[in-house]
Amino acid sequence: MFDSTIRRMPRPQEVARMTTGEIRDAFLLQELFQPDVFHGVFTDLDRMVVAGAMPVRSAIALPNHKESGHDTFLERRELGAINTGGAGTVTVDGTVHTVEALGCIYVGMGARAVRFASVDSSNPAKFFILSCPAHAAHPTVTATREDANKVELGSPATSNERVIRQYIHEDGIQSCQLVMGFTELGVGSVWNTFPPHTHNRRCEVYHYFDMEDRVLAHFMGEPQATRHLFLRGDDTVLSPAWSIHSGCGQGNYKFIWGMAGENQTFTDMDAVNPADLR
């Protein structure tokens, strides 16, 4: 199922005047994972769709929605999914693809029938899904955690030692505009994406997981007018191009990041000096 309304982003000058509840209603997605249910949300961030699929007793078919404007959901869209649960499979037009824990699958424009399933119902797969418009077809590709391009950043001294694993990007799995991967923080590290940045040519989505019962503060907004959200595991934040996106938790965690927009250059960002944050 899809939410009945499109999640529309406020302007930055409106965010500066919003209450905590209004900010959460605008930028936070919760409870994407429901047993045997596809839960999707259309947004106006480069027409991104954010969704979750947790098959337990039966496979979950990728549904269509009138908002796609076509007979099938992927007629003019592409899709990426990262599995944050147990081993799973994704069947694309009759071909079964195994997606291991922390593995990724890309499904290109034109695929007609997609089904998500778990290998073991006692340890179900949890597919975090992003989809955006596409203009050319690329083949379906899967990748394991070890296949991802690995980038090591930060240090224990600054509490931000982390490994970025890039799946769908300009030098990895090819796509039209979708970029996707995940970041895992080292034990004792709590800060992500700090110092922060913005990138006016791309929107971004953060999905936090592997947090157990810990709480995390996600910082957002224009650099000179920041706001924050307190999050739990499996919460997702929508980040417009003008907003920073950074977090600090009670302990280490992982988060999926996904982008869409004018380019796929991972380093195309405008850095913000922490001393200039307000």
Q: Which amino acid is at 49?
A: V
4, part of any domain: no
Residue 156 belongs to some domain of the structure:
yes
Q: Is residue 74 part of a domain?
A: yes
> How high is the pLDDT of residue 129?
98
| Structure confidence at residue 1 (pLDDT) | 92
What pLDDT is recorded for position 29? Answer: 98
Q: What pairing do the DSSP bridges indicate for beta strands 197-198 and 270-271?
A: antiparallel
User: pLDDT digit string (tens) for 73-92?
Assistant: 999 999 999 999 999 999 99
pLDDT at 92: 98
Domain of 231 in residue numbering reads as 12-276
The pLDDT of residue 86 is 98
For 51-93, give the DSSP string. Answer: EEEB-SSS-EE----GGG-SSSTTSSEEEEEEE-SS-EEEEET
Residue 30 covered by a domain:
yes
Q: Are 36 and 58 in contact (CB under 8 A)?
A: yes
Is pTM beyond 0.75 here?
yes
Residue 40 pLDDT: 98
Q: Report pLDDT for 115.
A: 98
Number of folded domains that form the chain: 1
Q: Residue 37: give its domain's CATH number.
A: 2.60.120.10
| Tens digit of each residue's pLDDT (9 = 90 or more) over 224-251 | 999 999 999 999 999 999 999 999 999 9
**Which two tokens mark 222?**
């224009």
Say what the pLDDT of residue 102 is.
Answer: 98
6 falls within a domain: no
Closest alpha carbon to 94 in 64, 114, 117: 114
Residue 210 lies in a domain: yes
Flag residues of the chain having pLDDT under 70. Answer: none
Residue 169 lies in a domain: yes
* Residue 121 forms part of a structural domain: yes
